[in-house]
Amino acid sequence: METALSKGTNLYKTLRVASLPGGRRGKHHGLTVGIVRELKAAREGMALVIPLANVGGVELGNLRSAVHRAASTDNLEIETQADEENLYVWLRKDPAPAMMQKTR
């Protein structure tokens, strides 16, 4: 019995890579875009408080990963912390360069 593959036909189409849409638009896109937008507007030293009950059932680990990916896309370095009720997100302060620290 001959199959489509043995006849030399392809099962899948092809297209130019340049025509693919840019960026990753995962299922948490709307949520993470809002978090990053508010994070950019937050005053220095302030953290966003994101109630886990208000994120549509997204698990903490998935939410944290999605927020880190979205922040990274905007070249933001963030820190996160969580408790049973909230995820806290804030912009990381630039650490002092090693050369600038006192040596003995």
pLDDT digits (tens, 9 = 90+) for 26-47: 777 889 999 999 999 999 999 9
Please name the residue that has the structure tokens 């090693």. 98
Domains of the chain, CATH where assigned:
26-91 (1.10.10)
Smallest CA-to-CA distance from 67 within 53, 57, 81, 84 is with 81
pLDDT over 60 (residue 96): no
Mean predicted confidence (pLDDT) in 12-22: 83
How many CB atoms are closer than 10 A to CB 73?
13
Q: What percent of the chain has pLDDT over 90?
A: 56
pLDDT over 70 (residue 6): no
Smallest CA-to-CA distance from 29 within 78, 62, 77, 76 is with 62
What pTM was computed for the model? 0.68
Output the six-digit token pair for 65: 């990963």
Mean predicted confidence (pLDDT) in 10-32: 81
Of 94 and 41, the structure prediction assigns the larger pLDDT to: 41
